[in-house]
Structure 1
């Protein structure tokens, strides 16, 4: 990791986009592009905002290209298609997943995925083949659902002509609370991991059919799951962060084994590292697998906006670089752009920042004193009874 670590250590703010309105930045996504390949839409960065909209930016200049509106409740995430860089998926607590063409900002979504009217989604993902979509619902009475669609099964909806995705069915027995994380395997389209506030992380092989047969591994982190990531040289390890800053790493390469191999386990991973100069590590933003380097990059921060880049291995956490002078409130999301060698971050101060090695800051938007947009109600939890087809 020497070369990339040198890049991380030299990171400084390259561009700063100031918000025009008081909104959180909740999530961001870059197209899945291989090195040296350019395609229509591959220079677009999608940003999910707390006002239920999605902003499209030029990923290099950060300038606003357009806005996507259609959701009527908080958006739980944004994700580009694996195969088509101009297609973007979004999920929302309004009970829909939507597919958009980023070449047509301001237009309606080109496809909508729905299930039961009472379902409220708080996580979703798309398989590496772009064929299957899965969303995790909030708990409704005793039930929580993993909902599946086949993106190729398209039908028009009534007089509107809106294209609806084909509902395949649901899994309903594996979780007992809000399903807060859904993650398809990056290379195996039928492998899916899910995590919930019930503390369980389940791994499924969808090719085996029904829920009982498909579920082959269950891990327990004894806390509410905030994010999941497939890691390891064979992508056969699961990295898990919890809402109370726990960190877990499991080897799930041998599903036939009754004993899950725990590579790392900490109910509060903030205690695993002591930062210099009295710096504070108050929360984790997330982690990502750096495949070329064979390392997990873990990003943590302080509520004041300071960020810490950490190398995570089975032996613990190691500080690579602290990033100061950027955000003024909690950071919600990040993406490492391997092609551009840049780090993109967004948070509760509404700022979108681009970090590059040896850069000098360019302010893209209006310069203002920024404060955290506090006490904003981002989501409400529903508890309703409903029925759904099991698969």
Structure 2
């Protein structure tokens, strides 16, 4: 019998490039990826990508054919998320202090709903809860304040052009930029936030005030770059840091005498042994429900993608994908239904990897030519957020 990790290793090693998006006229880093969720079929139809040129690009999930583009000008985009119940609705956070809702089914290039923050808000993170009822966004620190801002996400078709005001804010729990927001996958009232102050806070937003809502504060001792939920019933949280550290906590231990920290790795680049290669950075992670395994993705500046297994005894390499990207990978999305992987990078390419696939056309050489011109306009991965720690 194969172990769960061996099965994942076999699946990962069988991944080949099935599709490659056509390079657009204005190449841009692909910063964040989300796939639509279809309640009926279980399969997703669309991919949304937020790009460094302040646009959201929508692609067909199977063919990677480009469908449409939305502009967030003048603000900078920070994240893209599909609604859970409707696969044609996608949300984006913007540095201009708004969350916008776009409807792929409509011909319009305009947002169908805008959720406005308070005057000084610059949103750098956001998420929508699993029941599609609440949006939460995290702000940059302004003077002494960093806010979690909440809205009722339900659309009002009669006033699509007007901005929705926030339900309220949490203002006491972080004292620096709130870099990540992540709602619980199955409990709509639970949300975790991460910040450059090093704290990872878990809230139950059903509680009446911020003090009561704060269930747990975990300290990563560094600036948080990624957070997620893991474990059976998603009772664990984990984070990655801007200096490539990793922390993993078990919230089920909160009411016991046991320590809640499951693993704390100061520098994953030094902790994971990679033969004939290196690990330059972490991209993110996801919890594989079937295998009950937390998996992390990292990479190299030349575009190799490393998959790592996270265990109580540490991190170990599961496998490496070569030959896809020509520069650092910034974002990914794993699809459990067909065991496929979407990756986006600083080479302006969106790739779909599938088990045993055979790519018909190779457009990689074109991407290598544009990488240098993209880099002139956009801060490179290794320095983009570390400067904030000063």
TM-score, normalised to structure 2, is 0.90
- Counterparts of 1:1-391 in structure 2 under 5 Å? 1=4, 2-20=6-24, 21-33=26-38, 36-37=41-42, 42-104=44-106, 106-152=108-154, 154=156, 162-256=161-255, 260-277=259-276, 279-363=277-361, 368-370=366-368, 371-372=371-372, 373-377=374-378
TM-aligned CA deviation for residue 209 of structure 1: 1.6
**Paired residue total:** 374
Alpha-carbon distance in 2 for matches of 1:191, 1:258: 23
Contact 2:223 / 2:243 at 8 angstroms: preserved in 1? yes
TM-fit CA distance, 1:302: 0.6
* Deviation (angstroms), 1:295: 0.8
Q: Tell me if structure 1 keeps the 8 A contact 2:347–2:367.
A: no
Specify every segment of 5 or more residues in structure 2 that has no aligned partner in the other structure, as ranges. Answer: 386-390
* Superposition deviation, residue 5 in structure 1: 3.0
Whether contact under 8 Å (1:52, 1:71) holds in the other structure is yes
* Equivalent-residue separation in structure 1 for 2:258 and 2:182 (angstroms): 22
Partner residue in 1 for 2:388: none
Counterpart CA distance in 2 for 1:359 and 1:58 is 18
Q: Which whole-Å deviations, capped at 9, do the CAs of 1:275-301 have from their partners, x for residues lacking one?
A: 012x01010111011111111121110
Seen in structure 2, the aligned counterparts of structure 1 residues 258 and 87 have a Cα distance that, compared at 3 Å, is farther
Confirm or deny: 8 A CA contact 1:68 1:105 kept in the other structure. Answer: no
1-structure distance, mates of 2:205, 2:255: 16
Q: Is the 8 A contact 2:42 2:337 kept in 1?
A: no
Could you say if the C-alpha distance between residues 19 and 106 of structure 1 is closer, same or farther in structure 2, counting changes exceeding 3 Å?
farther
Secondary structure of the 1:109 match is coil
SS of 1:6's equivalent in the other structure is helix
Looking at structure 2, the residues matched to 230 and 35 of structure 1 have their Cα atoms a distance apart, in angstroms, of 25
Query: For residues 258 and 71 of structure 1, do their structure 2 counterparts lie closer, same or farther at Cα, with a shift above 3 Å needed?
Result: farther
Judging by fraction of residues, say which structure has more helix: 2
Q: SS at 2:211's partner residue? A: helix
Cα RMSD of the aligned pairs, angstroms, is: 2.3
Contact 1:154 1:166 in 2 (8 A): no
Q: 3-state DSSP class of the match of 1:285?
A: strand
The 3-state SS of whatever aligns with 1:362 is coil
Mapped to 2, the partners of 1:325 and 1:362 lie a distance apart of 15
Q: Distance in 2 between matches of 1:71 and 1:205?
A: 34
The range that moved more, 66-75 or 282-291, is 66-75
Structure 1 window deviating more from structure 2 (126-135 vs 68-77): it is 68-77
1:354 deviates by: 1.2
Question: Relative contact order, CA 8 A, sep 6+: which one is greater?
Answer: 1
Deviates more, 1:8-17 or 1:89-98: 8-17
| 1:120-170, Cα deviation, whole Å (9 max, x unpaired) | 00000001111010000000011100000012374866xxx5043341010
Extract unaligned runs of 5+ from structure 1.
381-391
For 1:22 and 1:245, the matched residues in 2 are separated by: 27
